[in-house]
Chains A and B, each alone.
Chain A
Amino acid sequence: MFHSKFINVGATTFSIALLSTSALANDKVYTGFPVTVKGYNGDKTTSVSYSGQVARHTLHDSLKAIAGKGNDKPNPSLKAQMTSYFEGKDPERVIIAPQSKGKFVIKQIKVGEISKSTNLVGKAYGGTITGMPNAMTGAELINFWIDKASMADGGQDSSNGYDYPQLISKFIMGAVFYNQVVDGYLDEYLEADKKPNDKPYRDGAPYTGKEHAWDEGFGYFGAPAHALTLSPAEVYDIAKRKDEAMTWADYNQDGMVDLKTEMVFGHAYYAAGFDKGGKTEYLHTIVKAFIDGRKLLTSAKGEKLTDTQRAELKGYAKVIHDNWQAVLAEATFKYAGSVYKDMVKLQTIMEANGETDKMLKTYIKHWGELKGFALALQTGKNNLGETATRLNRMIGFGPLLPNRSQVVDVDSDGNYMRDQGSSWGEYMLHMAKVQQLMIDQFGVKARANDVTGDMKGLADTLGGKSTAEND
């Protein structure tokens, strides 16, 4: 590659020429956008950088993995380990997940190889979480769960119905990644006075304020830079670290998957999962909007953005926001359906006086995913108002357990308090209503595990378009 100092100091025409060739070559890839900062004299050739976000993805995945290691007893060292991945900044922390698997070889082993001093807690949603008791902030809730997870059996508390790895993971996806982007980078950071484009993000940085904010947003989404060149199924398989996925994950063909640019994390994985079904295109829509926005920023050549440019950028930001929110709503929809189906199975087992342990574990796991995503959905830039109230009421603070009890509160010592919950049938109905709410409020289309979907299909086969006919 050319030395960027040379280019920048030299002729602007040359930099334009480079931009257009790189734009052509990487039209579908989020990479190689040149340095546009005026007077930059470092040695970077590209202004793209979002390694801190990727590091946070590895912290999140690792924390989720450790959260399932408890053995049903108080375990201070486990708790300390979890806390280190949530709050610590040590670059020596090992990436517990994702790690190499079979032919799927991952380049980095330690968090520090991606970014030096990163944590999750500093970026956690600071608002009150109304979907759980005691008005905790995002960080307080995660710490509360970390404490509980360290004492749980394999991450699960079957008496109260909690699966901590799922709750922690899905909630962090909202309270850290989603919130940072839709409530920060793609919201207030797009205003004229915030992170201006005619100044470096910080002194000496190779990227402007707006460029870097945009890159960080892309980083949190968790898509590989070359996502637009891949099908949703291929993206999905990368996240699963399948042997054959190595071929398309390793974009630069160096024999390793670079977590910084080639891996799939969090939201991008879920978006791909829904898109695989063919009814939606969340992944490509979001990534394309990010790339289009980045092209626009590059075209500003380190000048302050005009109002027209900012308006266009806000247009891309809106596309990203709406589709990302829909991904969370789809996930809420999907797991409400899973919980419903698990309840049908549990009921069948209970009526046959069978062994419910295994099914109960699945039920609690799915409920954790449902609750985590439902809470994540509420960490966006908009106060969801009545939708949030309804969602929280229908799902409750805990799942309805087979003995018809449900957590209704947490006392001052952090003990869960339960009471007799709704009837089994009513709670199932709540799940169906959660799905309807997702359709009504967010227009979800993929609709995995649709509770009444088959009935709708069946209704269509009956026909009966109203015409006035007699006999």
Chain B
Amino acid sequence: MDVFLGEVYERLIGPLFDPEKRVFVGYLFSAFLIALTIQVIASREKLVPALKAILSGGIWWSRSARTDYLVAVLNQFFMMGIAPRLLGKLTVATALFGWLHVAFDGRPMILPGAPGWSIAGAFTLVLFLLDDASKYIVHRLLHRWPVLWAFHKVHHTAETLTPFTVFRTHPVEGIIFALRSALVQAAALATFFFFFGERVELMSVFGANIIIFVFNVAGANLRHSHVWISYGHLIEHILISPAQHQIHHSAATEHHDRNFGVVLAVWDWMGGSLHLAGRRQSIRFGVLQEMHADQHSLNAVYTRPLIEAAGSVRRLIHWRPHQMFVPAKAKTAGLAAAIGGALLVLVLGITNAGAAEKVLNVYSHRQPFLIEPFIEAYTKQTGTKVNIVYASKGLAQRLMAEGESSPADVILTVDIARLHVYADKNLLQPVHSDILKKNIPPHMRAPDDTWFALSKRARVIAVSREVKDVQAIESYEELADPKWKGRICVRPGSHVYNRALVASMINAHGMEETEKWAQGLVANLARRPQANDRAQVKAVFEGVCDIAIINNYYYGKLLTSDNPMQQQWGQSVKLIFPNQDGRGTHVNISGGGVPKYAPHRDEAVKFLEFLTSKTAQDLYGEINFEYPVNPAVEETETLKSWGEFKEDDMPISRIAELAPEAQRVIDRVGW
């Protein structure tokens, strides 16, 4: 209760003593002095009449002003409930700060030598500009959008203006302002903090942004007053004068939707909504259509805007053109169809659940969308219900931890290194299947029959179609030639695809030669190894480099991407299958095996056999542009169109064996 009362007190009285608030007593006093000076000097009034004019009861205790006070108090209670539930600036800033790390791949600190005051100055200025510009935009929307105008109108029905008219605001607007403020502050905070770290600070006076402080001391409160102050033709293009804001509150038609700005007038100038104050004029404040008896009632302030806004939303919905063509009967029919469909799905689901007694649990490193078509085909053929657990990393550790109680029946991986991990940890059991032996060549399966290749992917060279000389490349070895300096892009060496390539080089040339080659390759890189294979093709498209090393299927994925940009990246390169005159192109595999404690071992073997059948082997090509491992199955037409090639037929298990040596080479050359 004490806390509650404390907050009530702070919210009601606090703003008067808070220099961040417009109604801070200091600002009110400065405004009063300015008003008095203007009345006495410019209007040549005597002191007493001037004071009377400024403190006129007709203004300060008018029906309109009394509503302002009441609304100010009531709103504080509303906001007390609402404010803690609103999206806070720190939440947004933290999310944005995080996103910047990913967008910039790290945190590049800029201008490390810049003096602290310059960064503080830049931050204070940017924050002010963003704040002022966004206020202009939101204010403009509040006027132009009927749904929002219903709420903002409350502020404009004020017929007398006092500094406290700022509080005559519908709570919905309060929410909009809070969100705007959170977003703007978060954007400035996160961006500046990300690039400049703890050097960022706000230049402030008594805790208020120095620019806002100056604005307020200079009589900002007179905007909501009957004291006419114009800055003159020139300055009013830059700064909004109190008179300009009074024009904004004018009921006159020619003054509608003018001068939305708060501090700066430039936004209005740019947006075509600037209205200069000109000669002193008598202005009637308010909204013409609303000038009836109860416009200052609580009902008019709080309830009516909600009803009006709901009305505009409804009108908006009714404007949907396609609805004009949907007869009422069709709607009913649609609903019936939907319910019927749902029931059908339910019934089918139950029947299906009853039928599928056979179960198979797959632990897959392969992404679900790549494996699901296989599962569908398998379930269709056998009726077996297949459950998938997908994770790109950590499945072997999981299987190990689960031990004998593991539900896993089949392991699927996307490369030999990860497959080897299972064999190395003794997590797989040998599978003696004639079908698998017939469908998979010996160099594509484990010597002890614990794992099997299921598809092949070639590590190819993608070269720019635009550049001539690179199209003549014929081998991996050539990539170390100094003539390609600064022209090659590739992902980090430690990635399993590259490590497998290095292992194949060690197999062909030995450690020493391979290290020399890797050194040459790294010396030719156009940029630090980064990101994935797709990004290398993008780099070729962008002209960062002319040569990229990628897995063949990424080419297909780019060409058939839903994203037109990615299609362009794909179209910008041509594939070269290296070493056709020698040992052939390096291939890696996707593969699988049966865990030692598989509860449904026989089903698991059947599933692996299925994956080497023609149906499934075709799917590898169709879904993911991979090559069949089964020699009896032809590759898809698309794959054929990229060129036939000879593959390096070293035993795939050798790649796993050579992986530690390959890693050492990669570390030593800094790939």
A, B co-complexed: yes
Are the C-beta atoms of B201 and A135 separated by less than 8 Å?
no
A194 at the interface (CB under 8 A from B): no
A contact residues around B152 at 8 Å (CB) = 470
A358 at the interface (CB under 8 A from B): no
Q: Mark A129-148, 1 if CB is under 8 A from B, else 0.
A: 01001110000000000000
A253 at the interface (CB under 8 A from B): no
Q: How far is the CA of A404 from the CA of B496 in the complex (A)?
A: 12
Are the C-beta atoms of B424 and A468 separated by less than 8 Å?
no
A401 nearest CB neighbor, chain B only:
B494
Q: How far is the CA of A470 from the CA of B262 in the complex (A)?
A: 10
- Given A405-B494, A419-B496, check contact A470 B155 (CB 8 Å): yes
Are the C-beta atoms of A424 and B400 separated by less than 8 Å?
no
Are the C-beta atoms of B106 and A347 separated by less than 8 Å?
yes
Q: How far is the CA of A411 from the CA of B169 in the complex (A)?
A: 67
Are the C-beta atoms of B105 and A423 separated by less than 8 Å?
yes
Are the C-beta atoms of A404 and B530 separated by less than 8 Å?
yes
Q: How far is the CA of A462 from the CA of B106 in the complex (A)?
A: 26
B contact residues around A469 at 8 Å (CB) = 21-22, 166-167, 169, 174, 177
Determine which of A417, A424, A455 lies in contact with B189 in the assembled complex, contact meaning CB atoms within 8 Å: A455
A429 at the interface (CB under 8 A from B): yes
A contact residues around B197 at 8 Å (CB) = 344, 454
B350 at the interface (CB under 8 A from A): no
- Given A405-B494, A455-B193, A459-B93, check contact A424 B421 (CB 8 Å): no
B441 at the interface (CB under 8 A from A): no
Q: How far is the CA of A424 from the CA of B105 in the complex (A)?
A: 5
B380 at the interface (CB under 8 A from A): no
Q: Mark A410-425, 1 if CB is under 8 A from B, else 0.
A: 0110010111110111
Determine which of A348, A405, A415, A458 lies in contact with B200 in the assembled complex, contact meaning CB atoms within 8 Å: A458
Determine which of B204, B494, B528 lies in contact with A418 in the assembled complex, contact meaning CB atoms within 8 Å: B494
Are the C-beta atoms of B494 and A351 separated by less than 8 Å?
no
Q: How far is the CA of A135 from the CA of B397 in the complex (A)?
A: 8
Q: How far is the CA of A429 from the CA of B94 in the complex (A)?
A: 10
A467 at the interface (CB under 8 A from B): yes
Give chain B interface residues in 166-201, CB to chain A under 8 Å.
166-171, 173-174, 177-178, 181-182, 185, 189-190, 193, 197-198, 200-201
A376 at the interface (CB under 8 A from B): no
B contact residues around A424 at 8 Å (CB) = 105-106
A463 at the interface (CB under 8 A from B): yes
Are the C-beta atoms of B189 and A452 separated by less than 8 Å?
no
A3 at the interface (CB under 8 A from B): no
Distance in angstroms from B183 CB to nearest chain A CB is 11
Q: How far is the CA of A468 from the CA of B182 in the complex (A)?
A: 14
A456 nearest CB neighbor, chain B only:
B90
B83 at the interface (CB under 8 A from A): yes
B104 nearest CB neighbor, chain A only:
A425
- Given A403-B667, A471-B166, check contact A452 B530 (CB 8 Å): no
B207 at the interface (CB under 8 A from A): yes
Distance in angstroms from B659 CB to nearest chain A CB is 7
B97 at the interface (CB under 8 A from A): yes
Are the C-beta atoms of A405 and B492 separated by less than 8 Å?
yes
B contact residues around A456 at 8 Å (CB) = 90
A303 at the interface (CB under 8 A from B): no
Q: How far is the CA of A134 from the CA of B494 in the complex (A)?
A: 21
A432 at the interface (CB under 8 A from B): yes
Q: How far is the CA of A469 from the CA of B152 in the complex (A)?
A: 11
B101 at the interface (CB under 8 A from A): yes
A292 at the interface (CB under 8 A from B): no
A contact residues around B181 at 8 Å (CB) = 464, 466
A428 at the interface (CB under 8 A from B): yes
Give chain A interface residues in 363-408, CB to chain B under 8 Å.
393, 403-406, 408
Segment among B55-63, B73-81, B316-324 that sits at the interface with chain A: B73-81
B483 at the interface (CB under 8 A from A): no
Determine which of A133, A452, A458, A470 lies in contact with B397 in the assembled complex, contact meaning CB atoms within 8 Å: A133
Are the C-beta atoms of A467 and B202 separated by less than 8 Å?
no
Give chain B interface residues in 513-565, CB to chain A under 8 Å.
528-531
Are the C-beta atoms of A471 and B262 separated by less than 8 Å?
yes
- Given A412-B424, A466-B178, check contact A458 B107 (CB 8 Å): no
Are the C-beta atoms of A425 and B171 separated by less than 8 Å?
no
A465 at the interface (CB under 8 A from B): yes
Determine which of A409, A417, A452, A462 lies in contact with B94 in the assembled complex, contact meaning CB atoms within 8 Å: A452
Distance in angstroms from A421 CB to nearest chain B CB is 8
Distance in angstroms from B397 CB to nearest chain A CB is 6
> What is the size category of the interface that chain B forms with chain A?
35 or more
A contact residues around B168 at 8 Å (CB) = 470
B contact residues around A403 at 8 Å (CB) = 492-494, 529, 666-667, 670-671
B3 at the interface (CB under 8 A from A): no
Are the C-beta atoms of A428 and B189 separated by less than 8 Å?
no
Are the C-beta atoms of A134 and B400 separated by less than 8 Å?
yes
A contact residues around B11 at 8 Å (CB) = 467
Are the C-beta atoms of B83 and A465 separated by less than 8 Å?
yes
Distance in angstroms from A133 CB to nearest chain B CB is 6
Q: Is the interface of B mostly helix, strand, loop or mixed?
A: helix
A425 nearest CB neighbor, chain B only:
B101
Q: How far is the CA of A119 from the CA of B240 in the complex (A)?
A: 79
Give chain B interface residues in 188-223, CB to chain A under 8 Å.
189-190, 193, 197-198, 200-202, 204, 207-209, 223
Distance in angstroms from B177 CB to nearest chain A CB is 7
Determine which of B15, B89, B169, B262 lies in contact with A459 in the assembled complex, contact meaning CB atoms within 8 Å: B89
Are the C-beta atoms of A455 and B424 separated by less than 8 Å?
no
Q: How far is the CA of A239 from the CA of B166 in the complex (A)?
A: 60
Distance in angstroms from B541 CB to nearest chain A CB is 20
Distance in angstroms from B423 CB to nearest chain A CB is 9
B contact residues around A343 at 8 Å (CB) = 106-107
B contact residues around A406 at 8 Å (CB) = 494
B contact residues around A347 at 8 Å (CB) = 106-108
Are the C-beta atoms of A467 and B101 separated by less than 8 Å?
no
A461 at the interface (CB under 8 A from B): yes
Q: How far is the CA of A466 from the CA of B78 in the complex (A)?
A: 11
Give chain A interface residues in 149-168, CB to chain B under 8 Å.
159
Are the C-beta atoms of A462 and B107 separated by less than 8 Å?
no
- Given A415-B660, A468-B177, check contact A461 B396 (CB 8 Å): no
Are the C-beta atoms of A455 and B102 separated by less than 8 Å?
no
Most buried by B among A348, A420, A426, A461: A420
Are the C-beta atoms of B94 and A455 separated by less than 8 Å?
yes
Q: How far is the CA of A420 from the CA of B497 in the complex (A)?
A: 10
Q: How far is the CA of A21 from the CA of B205 in the complex (A)?
A: 59
Are the C-beta atoms of B127 and A462 separated by less than 8 Å?
yes
B contact residues around A429 at 8 Å (CB) = 98, 101-102
Q: How far is the CA of A130 from the CA of B127 in the complex (A)?
A: 46
Are the C-beta atoms of A425 and B207 separated by less than 8 Å?
no
Determine which of B20, B189, B495 lies in contact with A419 in the assembled complex, contact meaning CB atoms within 8 Å: B495
Are the C-beta atoms of B667 and A466 separated by less than 8 Å?
no
- Given A403-B670, A425-B102, A452-B94, check contact A467 B198 (CB 8 Å): no
Are the C-beta atoms of A470 and B106 separated by less than 8 Å?
no
Are the C-beta atoms of B82 and A458 separated by less than 8 Å?
no
A45 at the interface (CB under 8 A from B): no
Are the C-beta atoms of A462 and B89 separated by less than 8 Å?
yes
B contact residues around A344 at 8 Å (CB) = 106-107, 109, 197
B393 at the interface (CB under 8 A from A): yes
B663 at the interface (CB under 8 A from A): yes
A75 at the interface (CB under 8 A from B): no
B contact residues around A417 at 8 Å (CB) = 417, 421, 659-660, 663
| A residues whose Cβ falls under 8 Å from a Cβ of B | 128, 130, 133-135, 159, 343-344, 347-348, 350-351, 393, 403-406, 408-409, 411-412, 415, 417-421, 423-426, 428-429, 432, 452, 454-456, 458-459, 461-471
A-B contact list, 30 entries, CB within 8 Å: A159-B667, A348-B108, A403-B492, A403-B494, A403-B529, A404-B529, A412-B425, A412-B426, A417-B421, A418-B494, A419-B417, A420-B492, A423-B102, A423-B105, A424-B105, A425-B102, A425-B103, A425-B107, A452-B97, A455-B93, A455-B97, A459-B90, A462-B89, A464-B182, A464-B185, A466-B79, A467-B75, A469-B174, A470-B166, A470-B169
- Those 7 A-B pairs whose CB atoms lie nearest each other, nearest first: A468-B174, A405-B494, A420-B495, A425-B101, A466-B83, A466-B178, A404-B492
